[in-house]
Structure 1
Amino acid sequence: MLFIFTVTTPVQALSWAYSFVVWNGNVYEVKEEKVLESEIGKEIGEVKTKPNDMTGDYYGNASNAYPKGTKYFEINNISTENAISVEVGDNEWQKAVYVHQAPFHWMDIFTKILPIFILIGIVIIILVRFKKRQNK
């Protein structure tokens, strides 16, 4: 019996101080303050990634509280540098207030540079095929 209790593996889970969303490299704390539909501006993004439960690392448009696909919106007459709104239900939004810049993560660079490399690769392939056709 003693052997069973000494061999168990520890369980670790991260506890977050507050619910947040990350948009455009900025972390916003989601407050309990509701945003009226008349105050909602255009859609500006959505949750695309979740933080790692063990390390807390995250990148891109992430959230520790909302599922992937949760939409972000501008709030009329408030700069997105100060606050945005998060869709928390059908026709229900909550205010998210800017807290700080998101920490650096290598995937932030990777997701921005990869499309450029793909575009350059496509252009090179097209140029090589065009040159081959001219040489025939």
Structure 2
Amino acid sequence: MRKLILFLLCFIFTSQLSVQALSWAYPFVVWKGNVYEVTDEEVSDIGDVIGKVKRGTDEMTGEYFGDASNMYPKGTKYYEIKGISPKIAIAVEVEESKWYKADYVHEAPKHWLENVIIVLTFVMLIVAVFTIMIRMNNRKT
């Protein structure tokens, strides 16, 4: 009994209790591979819709890819700001008829899933080409 208690105490004190909390430096959106910091500056001279949030960020690791956001839900729309290049800033719809300016910060980090999609597309294209070539050769004979 004594060994069991000692074992349990050792197990409790040596096991790791994992607590993770991710705190972001600023709210951001990602559009076309670029990260934009969303500011508190309201904008009203809005142009066309240019994109939207398609996924969130991983709350444990902070990883993201594609058109993502750490604060705004899926479906949040991005707009161009009239008179400003989207390379400099875009607008993010935070409420109906309310947009905040989002300033370009840097390129988004590359994610391994982006490469997988490219490789799979390339493999599918090669398989399709070989299938067509085989069928054409079978018709000739």
Which amino acid is the alignment partner of residue 68 of structure 1? K
* Structure with greater Cα Rg: 2
Find the residue that maps to 1:77 and give its secondary structure. coil
Which amino acid is the alignment partner of residue 20 of structure 1? F
Which amino acid is the alignment partner of residue 25 of structure 1? G
> 1:134 and 1:40, CA in 2 relative to 1: closer, same or farther beyond 3 A?
farther
Which amino acid is the alignment partner of residue 92 of structure 2? V
Q: Deviations over 1:87-130 (max 9, x none)?
A: 22323322110111212222232334433433333333233223
Instruction: Supply the distance in 1 between the matched residues of 2:87 and 2:99 (Cα, whole angstroms).
Output: 18
TM-score between both structures, scaled by the size of structure 1: 0.79
Deviation for aligned residue 1:35: 2.1
Query: For residues 27-46 of structure 1, what are the structure 2 equivalents within 5 Å?
Result: 27-36=35-44, 39-46=45-52
Report what 2:79 is aligned to.
73
Q: 2:133 aligns with which of 109, 127, 134?
A: 127
TM-score between both structures, scaled by the size of structure 2: 0.77
Q: 1:11 aligns with which of 19, 22, 27?
A: 19
Q: 1:85 aligns with which of 66, 83, 91?
A: 91
Any gaps of 5 or more consecutive residues in structure 1?
Answer: none
107-116 or 56-65, larger mean C-alpha shift: 107-116
Say what the alpha-carbon RMSD is for the aligned residues: 2.3
Report what 2:6 is aligned to.
none
Instruction: Supply the distance in 2 between the matched residues of 1:126 and 1:133 (Cα, whole angstroms).
Output: 11
> 1:125 and 1:89, CA in 2 relative to 1: closer, same or farther beyond 3 A?
farther
What count of residue pairs does the alignment treat as equivalent?
130
Deviation for aligned residue 1:50: 1.8
50-59 or 87-96, larger mean C-alpha shift: 87-96
Q: 1:51 aligns with which of 42, 54, 57?
A: 57
Any gaps of 5 or more consecutive residues in structure 2?
Answer: 1-8
Report what 1:95 is aligned to.
101
> 1:42 and 1:120, CA in 2 relative to 1: closer, same or farther beyond 3 A?
farther
Instruction: Supply the distance in 2 between the matched residues of 1:113 and 1:79 (Cα, whole angstroms).
Output: 32
